[in-house]
Amino acid sequence: MDCAFSAMDSRSRLGQSAAMPHDHSDHDHPHALLPPEPALRVKALETLLTRKGLIDPAALDEIIDTYENRIGPRNGAEVVARAWSDPEFRVALLEDATAVVAEMGFFGRQGEHVVAVENTDELHNIVVCTLCSCYPWPLLGIPPGWYKSDAYRARVVREPRKVLAEFGVELPEETAVRVWDSTAEVRYLVIPQRPAGSEGLDVDALSDLVTRDSMIGTGLAKAP
């Protein structure tokens, strides 16, 4: 399941992927009959598995809808909006995010231990999983394909400012960048800076300004 989700979004803003070692024009191999585009390959595999009775398309659609729309990244956006509008909640979140988000009902698989880190004028946080694709599913939903890509996982550690620039994030020179490496034990939620002009907005309105990328650190919150 996880690999299928990844393939649907496998082309990242970090550049087109290079040919893999097994990519060639030899049509003697069965995999050469699959469509070249990742999304089409996923559809072909889904069709094959459905015909064999190994998956239920309705159940698959329900899982995708749950994680894309009902779970994430709306849950994370609600957490960030509350942190922006409630100082006591913000302090508690930074001290023990696992307990705070669990009280809000956001827990489960890949959300067992969450740490919140806050962006400021002095520090910008960005998250990666250098070993695989550890990600706070209960808060952010399905991880994007670029998050799992070799390019992102390798480059963001070595040259985070260049990677941020490719995502359209240009930071002042005086702002330090810190890269957090997620693991099976710890997953991170970035609290982006509250955008100017959002004073007076309620939690629902503030939630609309929070993007998935801003909670990973590869983006900024939207202006109101």
The answer to whether residue 3 is catalytic is: no
3-state secondary structure (DSSP) of residue 95: helix
35: how many CB neighbours lie within 10 A of its CB?
Answer: 11
- Structure token digits, residue 201: 């907005």
Asked about 132 being catalytic, the answer comes back as: yes
Q: Are 145 and 8 contacting, i.e. CB atoms less than 8 angstroms apart? A: yes
Cβ–Cβ < 8 Å for 160, 177? yes
Q: Which tokens is 15 given?
A: 């550049």
Q: Which residue has the tokens 């890269």?
A: 179
Backbone angles phi, psi at 217, to 5 degrees: 105, 0
CA distance 76 to 6: 20
Q: Which of 10, 12, 134, 182 is catalytic?
A: 134
Catalytic residue among 85, 133, 182, 207: 133
Query: Catalytic: which of 129, 149, 182, 214?
Result: 129
Residues with catalytic annotation? 129, 132-134
